[in-house]
Structures are given as structure tokens and as C-alpha cells.
Chain A
Amino acid sequence: MDELSLYVLDIVMNSVRAGAEHIEISIIEEGEWLTFTVKDDGCGMTEEQLKKLSDPFFTTRKTRKVGLGVPFLRMLAEMTGGSVEIKSVHESVSGDHGTELVARFGRHHIDFVPTGDMTGTVITLIQGSPDIDFVYRHKGDGFDVRLDCNELKAVLGDGISLAEPEVLAWIREYLNDQYSPSGE
């Protein structure tokens, strides 16, 4: 994949499929590193699943026999001198279950990819799962973008979904404005 935003979309989809209600996504670019963190309250993984996670021939899905999401992410991280760490508590172990993934990339490394269309990724996630409370933050050179779906839901009330096209269009502009603070 040629944009970091696509890796982010792909990895966060795992949290969505794990049945999470709250998903925190953060991307912090500082000095040498870009650190991407996802924290969810989904069903989590067993130790067995966690061990096999970076094996491309392991997947829980039924439609095909390979799972490339985490292996792709790990490959990009390691190619740029970074790493991926995943902690997970399965729902059979504790009521306080979920998964936290931290990926670190050497952001100036020649093998790193452009950040790409992060707004497109956030819009796609909200469109697909408007009921999930996504909290998004991306801090980089000259911008600090934040979006909290709880805040938007508090304004919209119960009747209106975040997936309504008018609302998605507003979110898109809201994010784009924050990405280019000089363009006020």
C-alpha cells in the first residue's frame, strides 16, 4: 500500500470487526518518528491468536486463508527501523478487554510512505460504523488535528447518524481545515 492512511484504515478495521464501541486512533509525528496507536474495547485476542498475528497464513476469517493486515504493517515499520507492539486482553479473560497496537515508523526513512489522505480514512471509518465512538488525533509539523465522535453525537442528538452525507461532508471540511490551519 502506498499511503500510511491506507494502513491505518486497514488496521482500524480490525478493531471494528472485533466489535469495539470505542476506538482511539492517534498519529504523532515527532523528531525521527511517526507513532501510530490504536486502542479499542473490542473482543480482544487470545494468547494463541496474538502469537500467530504476524503470520500471513493466519486469519480468523472464513473467505480466504491469508491475513495480510498486520504483516503489511509490521513490514513497513521494520523496513523503516521501527516496530509494532500489540497488547490484547480477550473477553474470556477479563471484562476489561480490548487491543492496543503501537506502531513506530522512521518517518524520514527512504522506505517510508507518504501519510496520504488521512481525512479520507477517517470519513470511511465513520461512514462504515457511525455508531462507534472514534476519537482521532493526528499531530504533525504545523498541525494538531482532533476529532471526537462523542462531541459530534452530543450536538446531533439521537435521530441523526454520523453517516448522513451532509454530516460526513461537514466532518471532511472540519478535518481539512485543521490540517491547513493557515488557510483560515
Chain B
Amino acid sequence: MKSLEELMAIKNKMQDKVSVRTGSGDIRIVVGMATCGIAAGARPVLNAFVEGISNEGLGDHVQVTQTGCIGICQYEPVVEVYEKDKEKTTYVKMTADKAKEVIEKHIKGGKPVSEYTIGATHL
């Protein structure tokens, strides 16, 4: 069983790390989590981003956050990626597997996965 003592150990380990952390990150990944997003499968997408960013050790400059409905419910799960000094990328109809690919190619590799973006849907 997990115990609160273990949480204390995590705290002690993290204290030094957190104090070194600068700013809130250069990249922000925003997942839509309103009724439309949730019903379309946004929860596993969000969790894939949270875990992927953490496993890749990208937590210092990539932030994963949630937002409400942005008005394109038919394209949920919708994920927006904001990068410093770049145009916003909007991914639509996301899945956990696509999220892993986006982390690999876009977040780490710097190149948006264009076939998953809203531009590819001929809106």
C-alpha cells in the first residue's frame, strides 16, 4: 500500500528541483475538457500528455493545462499547442496514441504533425 510517508519522501526529493525551476514554460499544451471534450475522449488524451511530458523529462519547459469548450465540439478532443514566438497549432479528433506522436514529433522534434491539425480537416 502507498503511504503518506512515501509522499513525504517525494516532497523531500522534489524540493530542490522545484526551486530551480524557472518560469512556467515555453510550450503550453491546452486540452479542452468541457462536456463535448470529455464525451469525445479527452480524458485519456490529457493523461497521455501529462504522463508523456513527465516521462520524457520535459516538465521544465512544457506545461499541460485544461480549458473549457472553444466552440468546435464536432472536432473534439481538441488540443492547442502554444509556443513562444510561433503560431498556435490546433489538433483535432485526438487520441492518446496521437498525443504520444505529437510529443515525439512536435514537442520534442519541433515540427507540428500537420495531418492531425484542424487545417487538415478542410473546415
Interface residues of A (CB under 8 A from B): 1, 6, 9-10, 13, 17, 61, 63-64, 67-69, 72, 117, 120-121, 123-124, 127-128, 151-152, 155-157, 159-160, 164-170, 173-174, 177-178, 184
By a CB distance below 8 angstroms, the chain A residues around B14 are 160, 164, 166
Q: For this complex, into which size category does the number of interface residues on chain B fall?
A: 35 or more
Taking a contact as CB atoms under 8 Å apart, the answer to whether B34 and A13 are in contact is yes
Taking each of B2, B13, B51, B59, which has the highest tally of chain A beta carbons within 10 Å of its own beta carbon? Answer: B2
Main secondary structure of the interface of B (DSSP, over half): helix
User: Known: A157-B11, A170-B10. Contact between A72 and B35, CB under 8 A?
Assistant: yes
For residue B46, CB closer than 8 A to chain A, the reply is yes
B59 near A165 with CB under 8 A, answer yes
Contact among A1, A159, A166 for B39, CB-based, below 8 A = A1
| CB nearest to B2 among chain A residues | A174
Contact B35 A69 (CB under 8 A): yes
Total A-B contacts with CB atoms under 8 angstroms apart: 94
Are A165 and B54 in contact, with the CB atoms below 8 A?
yes
Say whether A120 contacts B44, CB under 8 Å.
yes
User: B46 contacts A124, CB within 8 Å?
Assistant: yes
Proximity string of chain B (10-47) to chain A, C-beta cutoff 8 Å, 1 when within and 0 when not: 11011100110000000000000111101100011011
Once the chains bind, are B39 and A156 in contact (CB under 8 Å)?
no
Q: Which 10 A-B pairs have the closest CB atoms?
A: A165-B54, A128-B66, A63-B71, A174-B2, A69-B35, A63-B69, A10-B38, A155-B7, A173-B2, A177-B1
